[in-house]
Chain A
Amino acid sequence: MTDPIRPMPRPRALELLEAWNGEAVDARAVPVHPVGRFRAIVLEALRGGGRLAALFGRPEDGRILLTAVLADDPEGKLGLLATQVDGAYPSLSAEAPAAQGFERELAEQYGVRPEGHPWLKPLRFEPPHRSVRDAFGRADPAATIPGEYPFFAVEGEEVHEVAVGPVHAGIIEPGHFRFQCHGEHVFHLEIVLGYQHRGVEHLLASGPDRRSMTLAESIAGDTSIGHGLAYATAVEALAGRASPARALALRGVALELERLANHVGDLGALAGDVGYLPTASYCGALRAEFLNATAEICGNRFGRGLLVPGGVRFDLHPEAARALAARVRKAWERARGAAGLFFDSPSVRARLEGTGTVTRETAAALGLVGPAARACGVDRDVRRDHASGIYRFVHVPVVNAETGDVFARSWIRLLEGERSAAFAADQLENLPEGGVREAIGALAPRSLVVSLVEGWRGEIAHVAVTDAQGRLARYKVKDPSFHNWFGLAMALRNGQISDFPLCNKSFNLSYAGHDL
């Protein structure tokens, strides 16, 4: 296994187009290779420590143009390259597991079959985007719903199957979990998603229009700022405009408040799952402190309505900003105390440690992102590696853990919260002068931009491509959960079925963000 954090080998010039996060490039300048060469370049980059930030198809001249976005994290650069595919092509996933979801998506959307894919199953059960033979051999793909496919099955006299979902016991988004067990022992967990598919990318393409910003905020409701920011930044880049400095700072504050609300809420939920009720109660209410801080800025607890391409819609008076900073510091002090009770309890530590372990090698191979990756020692964070907006000027220290278990995924939330609270409060106390919003004009035609944001679950990647008229022709969305769901499946392998709720909570992934 290669070291996941080495700089990736620099392919020869013309093999890929280099770009920064949030830099619009000429879509026609992306080199198009024969499929064999494309594969070789992508696989070499991934073997060398590069990361597959996105891989997506779009129709061009009756075939499918498959574009790869490679991320070179230590260098802070992105590499773009493409190939034309149709019918079938040799899969990347057999050698690069991080491509598995992307290639299933490609097969589902455009009927292009990645030959040799180790897990070629529908991803979201969305209707095909063009009428060609179904890559999975289904008679009526538009009429199939999630779960209508052959599950991976383990056979044996005492092997049994446990099926959970799509409707869950709590207030949780829908998904289906199928466990292959021997007693309590889990051999394998298969996760079937797609129930949440709403056609987000379809609705965003042909924009921007009056729905677009609200749509971006609704990709994953707990990540309204994360996805909204990725969208707003992409559109600004295509229009050749940047937001004013004060807006960038307020956006950073909102992104960190979103991280704080979710991390604190997760610590409470983890405490609830292990039956440690004091922290469960306190963190449930403390989460609201951060949601309410966001509502002080923009009127909505989830930050909806705050962002707009060109800046933010709400400014803060200096006194209000100072008061909010004090409130954030105080709320974090309490959250730190509530989390401290949890982590100082030996019975809690015993329950968390060694449960649901994902190795560093597995995390790197699957392309895990965010706290789930950093908990395994895979040191990646868009705020540092591909800094944009306020993070280009003010750095948030990145936190890593080593053990890759539920404990690491919990502990890292506390450590990240510490830094986010300090960052948000500092920014509120030192907001740059000036306006918060500028008008942006038309989008450049035939351009492409990759917009990365470190949401609270990890890297959010949006790729926008415009047509000859400057309208969005393809809008690709990748939520951090896209990679991380497979991490959850691996965390359960050879674990206990009773560990599932705790493992699931320690990842706390988005169904809507995955299903789009």
Chain B
Amino acid sequence: MIDLLKFRLGYGRQTVAFPDGPPKFPERFRGRPAVDAARCPPGCAACVEVCPTDAILDPGVPSMRLDLGRCTFCGLCAEACPPGALRFTDDHRLAARRREELAVQGDAPVLAAALDAETRRLFGRSLKLRQVSAAGCNGCEAELNASGNIQFDVGRFGIQFVASPRHADGIVVTGPVSENMRLALQKTYEAVPAPRLVIAVGACAISGGVFRESPVVCGGTDAALAGIPVDLYVPGCPPHPITFVDGLLRVLGRIR
């Protein structure tokens, strides 16, 4: 017992300062990309040729965008772009309410809008989520698990992953949704009492990611749950736990 207490005393506080203070990331962390088509040399498509997920839309023209819903944040496009038309910032704020908001241009933050007042009243101080891994590689799953540890501690905001869809206010989907998981995902969604949220975490769950051309996957949550709107998209491969927490706190109106 004494050893335990000694260890505890030497250990200190582990919980991150975020959201009250700024989050800390390693120097090489790749957050939200900044896109500036004006820097593109004429006829250059070097970024498109290296992108593993075809995330770059309209390269070289003023409408050029980078689709965060597909992006794996590998950074190969920025590496292939000496003029700096594409570069990665350290901005962790990536989550969005609508799919089209994920196609970013320029250097403006992506900020998920808060849910309507009634939904915030219901879930704002207590949000219970059921996680469905639907062919996720365990990268996103590992980061969702980390969001509950003593460092990121989503529990302090009343957010918790629960053991049954009957206890949940929404589902968190990871993975490109394999054909073999489509039915289980649909059934889990139906087992959650309404009103319910759908949150898609990671490039695979948003767009199919690097698996989107596979014939044995649905290509993400929207495709697998046809007709059911996704309430929050959290990009990344996998998203940093702080990106996930940031997105949740924004839709709940806890940070603005």
B63 within 8 Å of A by Cβ? no
Q: How large is the interface on B (under 10, 10 to 19, 20 to 34, 35 or more residues)?
A: 35 or more
A296 near B28: Cβ-Cβ < 8 Å: yes
Interface string of B129-163 (1 = CB under 8 A from A): 01111111111111111101111000000000101
Find residues 198-256 in chain B having any chain A CB closer than 8 Å to their own CB.
Answer: 204, 209-211, 213-217, 237-238, 240
Segment of B36-44, B68-76, B100-108 in the binding face: B68-76
The answer on a CB contact under 8 Å between B238 and A221 is yes
* A304 interface neighbour in B4, B74, B79, Cβ under 8 Å: B74
- CB pair B210–A196 under 8 Å, yes or no, is no
Q: Which of A125, A203, A221, A284 contacts B138 (CB 8 A)?
A: A221
Q: Is A211 in contact with chain B by the CB < 8 A criterion?
A: yes
Q: Kindly identify, within residues 423 to 450 of chain A, every residue whose CB is under 8 Å from any CB belonging to chain B.
A: none
Asked if B183 lies at the interface with its beta carbon under 8 angstroms from chain A, I say yes
Residues of chain B contacted by A218 (CB below 8 angstroms): 137, 139, 204, 209-211, 237
Q: Is the CB of A174 within 8 A of B184?
A: yes
**Of A86-94, A108-116, A163-171, the one with at least 4 CB within 8 A of chain B:** A163-171
Given the contacts A203-B214, A210-B49, A285-B150, A341 and B135 also touching, CB distance less than 8 Å: no
Please judge, given known A-B contacts A199-B217, A218-B137, A222-B139, whether A145 and B74 are in contact too, CB under 8 Å: no
Q: Are A278 and B8 in contact (CB under 8 A)?
A: yes
Chain A residues whose CB sits within 8 angstroms of the CB of B151 once the complex forms: 284-285, 288
The interface centre, meaning the residue of A146, A197, A219, A334 with most chain B CB atoms within 10 A of its CB, is: A197
Query: Nearest CB to that of A169 among chain B residues?
Result: B163
B24 CB, min distance to chain A CBs, angstroms: 10
Q: Mark A155-177, 1 if CB is under 8 A from B, else 0.
A: 00000000000110111111000
Known contacts: A285-B149, A299-B26. The answer to whether A145 contacts B138 by CB under 8 A is no
For B24, give the chain A residue with the smallest CB separation: A292
Contact B28 A126 (CB under 8 A): no
| Bound complex: CA A301 to CA B243 (Å) | 13
B214 touches which of A166, A198, A338 (Cβ 8 Å): A198
Which A residue's beta carbon lies closest to that of B164? A169
Given the complex of chains A and B, what is the CA–CA distance between A170 and B161 in angstroms? 7
A458 to chain B, nearest CB (A): 16
B residues near A169, Cβ cutoff 8 Å: 163-164
Query: Count of A residues near B, CB < 8 Å?
Result: 61
Give CA–CA (A159, B11) in the complex, Å: 49
Q: Is the CB of A171 within 8 A of B178?
A: no
* Interface check A74, CB cutoff 8 A: no
Q: Give A213 to B150 CA distance when docked, in angstroms.
A: 33
B28 touches A299 (CB 8 A): yes
Once the chains bind, are A198 and B7 in contact (CB under 8 Å)? no
CB-defined contacts of A221 to chain B, threshold 8 Å: 136-142, 238
Tell me, in angstroms, the Cα distance from A197 to B176 when the chains sit together. Answer: 10
Q: Which residues of A contact B216 (CB under 8 A)?
A: 126-127, 197-199, 202
Q: List 27 A-B contacts (CB under 8 A).
A: A145-B180, A166-B184, A167-B184, A167-B188, A170-B161, A173-B138, A197-B135, A197-B178, A202-B214, A203-B211, A211-B53, A213-B52, A214-B53, A215-B52, A218-B209, A221-B139, A222-B142, A278-B4, A281-B14, A284-B149, A285-B150, A292-B26, A299-B28, A302-B142, A341-B7, A512-B135, A512-B136
Ranked nearest first, the 3 interchain pairs of A and B with the lowest CB-CB distance are: A221-B139, A221-B137, A169-B163
Sample of 11 more A-B contacts, CB < 8 Å, known A174-B132, A203-B213, A341-B3: A196-B175, A197-B135, A198-B135, A222-B139, A281-B149, A281-B150, A299-B29, A305-B75, A314-B28, A338-B7, A512-B135
Chain B contacts to A: CB under 8 angstroms: 3-4, 7-8, 11, 14, 25-30, 49-53, 72-76, 79, 130-146, 148-151, 161, 163-165, 175-176, 178-181, 183-184, 188, 204, 209-211, 213-217, 237-238, 240
A interface residue numbers (CB < 8 A to B): 125-127, 145-146, 166-167, 169-174, 194-199, 202-203, 210-211, 213-215, 218-222, 224, 278, 281-282, 284-285, 287-288, 292, 295-302, 304-305, 313-314, 334, 337-338, 341, 344, 510-512, 515
